[in-house]
Amino acid sequence: MPETTPDVQLPRIVIVGGGAGGLVLATLLGRKLGKKKLASVILADTQLTHIWKPLLHEVAAGSLNPYEDELNYFAQAHRNHFEFQPGTLTGLDRERKVILLDDMKDTDGEKVLDARELSYDYLVLAVGSVTNDFGTTGAQDFSIHLDTRQQAEYFHRTMLNHYYRAEASGKTEALGIVIVGAGATGVELAAEVHHAIPVLARYGLDRIQPADVTITLVESGSRILSGLDDRTAAEAHKELEKIGVQVLLNESVSEVSADGITTKSGRFVSAQLRVWSAGVKAPDFMKGLAGLHNERGNTLVVDDFLRTDDPYIFALGDCAYCNAQTASGKRRAVPPRAQSAFLQAKWLTKHFPDLMAGNPVPAFEYRDYGSLISLSEARTVGNLMGNLTGRVNVDGYIARLMYVSLYRRHQAVLYGWTRTFIFVLRDLLIRKSGPRLKMH
C-alpha cells in the first residue's frame, strides 16, 4: 500500500473516480506531471479494478468476461507514475483541503482499511453517475441497476440461475425480462441479451427455449433513445422489433414488484428479471457536498474550465454539469457519455499546468463526435459528426467498426497502441477458442 502522508514539495492532485474520465486523467497526468516529479497524482476509487462502463451490458449478457478485460488500478498506477488509493469518498473538508475515504471491507465484511483522510492541493471529482429510479415503488428492492460490474455480474448470474433451475426441474419453462427505460443502456442491453439467449440453448440449457424468452422494453416517452436523433432511434426501434423485443412506448412504470412491473396506465408485465435503466443522477453524496453548487440530478456545476465554485476543485464526466461552448458558438449541456468524460479528461490534462500556475487557458469546448448504438455484434446504428460532412448516418460494418474503435481508443490511451493491438489479437483468439458466452 503506498504511503498516504502528504508530499510537502509537490502539488497534490487527487482524482476521485477512475472511470472513463478519471482513469484517463490520472494516467495522462501521471505521465505528464508525475513522471517528471512536477506533481503527485493520486487516484482514489471504490473498486480495485476498472471496467469501461459502456461494456456493462455485455457483462450482463455474458458475452464479455470481465476478468479478461479488467484493469488493475495498482498496476496501472505503477506503470504510469501515479498513486492509487482504494476507498470510497464520503466527505470533503474544503477549509482543510482534505477528503475522507470510508473504511474498506472485504467480501466477508472484514475491515481491511480504516477510514482515512487524504489531503489535496487540487481535487478532481470524476465519480460518474448512478441509476435514478425517481423513488418508484419497489424499484430499489426488485430491479437490478447496471451501474457497476458487480450489478452486471449479478444480472448475468441471476439469468443463468433460471436456466440451471429449469434444467434441474426437467420441465420446459418461460422467462420474462423487463427493462425499464429505452435509453442507450436499455436498448443495448435488450439487444445483447436477445443475442445471448440462443447460445444458452445451444450449450444444452434448453429447458428454456429462445422462443419462450420475452424481452420487454418499457419507455415513458413517445420514442426510444430520446437523447439521439430521430433516424437512429427509428432504425434501432425497427431492429428491436425485428429481433422480437417488445417495445412499449408512453408507459410510465409506477411499481416494480417481485414478479413484474405495473405501469401508470394499469398494464402489468410479468418478469422474473427486472432491470431499471430509466435515468441517471450523480451519486447522492454529491448533493450539497461541502456547499458546492448543484444542478439537476446532484451534478456539480462547473465553469468553462471544469472548475466548481471552489477554484481548487474540478469535476468532469457524468457527475459534472457543464454548459459548454460548442464549435457553432451555441452553448449546450455536455451529455453524460463516455466520450464527454474522455474529452474533458484530455482537456484537463493539457491545461492542468497552466491552471495550477494561474495562467489563462482557452475554455473547454464540447465537440459531439456522434453517437452509436450497439444492437449486438449483428448491428450497430448511429451517426458521426465530421468537420466538413456534418452529421452522417452510419450503419452496418462501418458503424460496428467505429463502435468497437471507441473502446480500443480508450484502451490505447491507457496502455498504448502496441499493447492494445496485442489485446485485439488476444480477444480474437479467445473468441475463436473459448465459449461464446460466460457460463458461470
Q: Which stretch binds ligand FAD (CB under 6 A): 35-43, 47-55, 103-111, 226-234?
A: 47-55
Measured at the alpha carbon of residue 318, what is the angle toward residues 313 and 319, in degrees to the nearest 5? Answer: 40
- One symbol per residue from 21 to 40: x for binding ligand FAD (CB under 6 A), - otherwise; what is it? xx------------------
- One symbol per residue from 137 to 156: x for binding ligand FAD (CB under 6 A), - otherwise; what is it? ---------x----------
Residue 344 C-beta: closest distance to ligand FAD, Å: 8
Q: Tell me the residue nearest to ligand FAD as measured from the CB.
A: 19
Which residues inside 283-322 make contact with ligand FAD, applying CB under 6 A? Answer: 283, 317-319
Q: Which stretch binds ligand FAD (CB under 6 A): 13-21, 110-118, 263-271, 303-311?
A: 13-21
Q: Which residues contact 154 (CB under 8 A, 6 or more apart)?
A: 144
Q: Which stretch binds ligand FAD (CB under 6 A): 61-69, 126-134, 174-182, 359-367?
A: 126-134
Residue 126 C-beta: closest distance to ligand FAD, Å: 5
Residue 438 C-beta: closest distance to ligand FAD, Å: 16
* Cα(337)–Cα(318) distance, integer angstroms: 7
* Bridge partners (DSSP) listed for residue 83: 42
Which residues inside 175-204 make contact with ligand FAD, applying CB under 6 A? Answer: 184-185, 188
- Strands 49-50 vs 89-93: parallel, antiparallel or unpaired: unpaired
Among 4, 10, 31, 46, interactor with ligand FAD by CB under 6 A: 46
Q: Which three cell numbers stand for residue 211?
A: 422462443
**Based on CB atoms, which residue is closest to ligand FAD, 263 or 371?**
371
Among 127, 218, 224, 324, interactor with ligand FAD by CB under 6 A: 127
Residue 369 C-beta: closest distance to ligand FAD, Å: 9
**Based on CB atoms, which residue is closest to ligand FAD, 169 or 326?**
326
Element (H, E) at 412: helix 396-415
Which residues inside 336-375 make contact with ligand FAD, applying CB under 6 A? Answer: 336-339, 341
* Cα(302)–Cα(310) distance, integer angstroms: 10
* DSSP characters over 255-277: EEETTEEEETTS-EEE-SEEEE-
C-beta pairs of 398-406 under 8 Å, 24+ apart in sequence:
399/372, 400/374, 402/372, 403/372, 403/374, 406/54, 406/338, 406/339, 406/372
Which residues inside 255-284 make contact with ligand FAD, applying CB under 6 A? Answer: 283
* Cα(341)–Cα(224) distance, integer angstroms: 24
Residue 71 C-beta: closest distance to ligand FAD, Å: 10
Q: Which residues contact 331 (CB under 8 A, 6 or more apart)?
A: 323, 324, 325
Sheet containing 246-248: give its strands across. 246-248, 213-218, 175-180, 273-276
* Cα(201)–Cα(197) distance, integer angstroms: 7
Residue 17 C-beta: closest distance to ligand FAD, Å: 3
- One symbol per residue from 158 to 177: x for binding ligand FAD (CB under 6 A), - otherwise; what is it? --------------------
Residue 409 C-beta: closest distance to ligand FAD, Å: 12
Nearest C-alpha neighbor of 45 from the set 76, 69, 6 = 76
**Based on CB atoms, which residue is closest to ligand FAD, 263 or 321?**
321
In the numeric block, the cell 425497427 is attached to: 238
- Asked whether 121 and 12 are in contact (CB, 8 A), the reply is yes
Residue 304 C-beta: closest distance to ligand FAD, Å: 18
Residue 339 C-beta: closest distance to ligand FAD, Å: 5
Element (H, E) at 418: helix 417-433
Q: Which three cell numbers stand for residue 403?
A: 463502435
Number of residues near ligand FAD (by CB under 6 A):
33
* Dihedral (CA of 369, 342, 346, 94) sign: positive
* Bridge partners (DSSP) listed for residue 325: 331, 365
Q: Which stretch binds ligand FAD (CB under 6 A): 14-22, 30-38, 229-237, 424-432?
A: 14-22
- One symbol per residue from 212 to 241: x for binding ligand FAD (CB under 6 A), - otherwise; what is it? ------------------------------
Binding residues vs ligand FAD (CB under 6 A): 16-22, 44-47, 53-54, 56-57, 88-89, 126-128, 146, 184-185, 188, 283, 317-319, 336-339, 341
